Every structure is written in structure tokens, then in C-alpha cells.
Amino acid sequence: MDNNKEKTASAKILEKVKNRLCKEAKNNKNKKHKKID
């Protein structure tokens, strides 16, 4: 049972990291598009 808890916890952390990376990627794309000077 302890292993299961650890797995779900790490899975949640991975999800958070993935979501943050996706947001950063989107922000980077937006910044690149806005740099049309």
C-alpha cells in the first residue's frame, strides 16, 4: 500500500511538471509570435 501511495504521489508530481512545461512551451510560442518588429 505504501508503494501505491508513493506511485500516485510521483505521478501527480509528474503531471504538474508536464502541465507547467506545456504552459511554458505555449508562452514561448506566444512570445516568438509577438516578436514581429
pLDDT of residue 22: 93
pLDDT, tens only, 1-37: 577 888 899 999 999 999 999 999 998 888 777 665 5
Whether the predicted model's global pTM rises above the 0.75 cut: no
pLDDT of residue 12: 96
Three cell numbers written together for 27: 508562452
Complete DSSP assignment for the chain: -HHHHHHHHHHHHHHHHHHHHHHHHHHHHHHHHH---
